[in-house]
Amino acid sequence: MTSLDQEATGESAEESEAGGDIVAMLRKSLEASVVKIESPAQLEPKAPKDLSEKQRLTEQLQVAYVHDLEKGYVTEPWVGSSFQIMSWHYGKNLGRYFPDQT
């Protein structure tokens, strides 16, 4: 008795073995070419627990600002002044709704 997807001659068994070889080759090439992506949590060192909430939030802002600096969205290096943070925030979040920054 044969299934609907099999032929009575047994050729499908040979084809599945050949297909298995192709799948094995594809898996090997995929493993060799896989790009490993690390999450931002893995890239950034863990903050010590003795930091205050303000220091922790300031460090988060600095990491985000430096990330934008590397991408070219901002041109000034991180200073951490209130004016720099507010103007960066305006350009990043509110600038799309209010494009006239004058």
pLDDT at position 84 is: 93
* Pairwise CA distance, residues 79 & 56, whole Å: 16
% of the chain with per-residue pLDDT over 90 = 22
CB 63 within 8 A of CB 44: yes
Both tokens assigned to 61: 């802002």
Quick check: is 102 in a domain? no
In terms of residue numbers, what domain contains 56? 40-94
Cα separation, 99 vs 102, in Å, equals: 9
**pLDDT tens-digit readout, 47-63:** 556 788 889 999 999 99
Residues 25 and 48 in one domain: no
C-beta of residue 16 within 8 angstroms of C-beta of residue 5: no
* Residues 49 and 12 both lie in one domain: no
Residues 14, 52, single domain; the answer is no
Number of domains in the chain: 2
Distance (Å, whole) CA 74 – CA 67 = 9
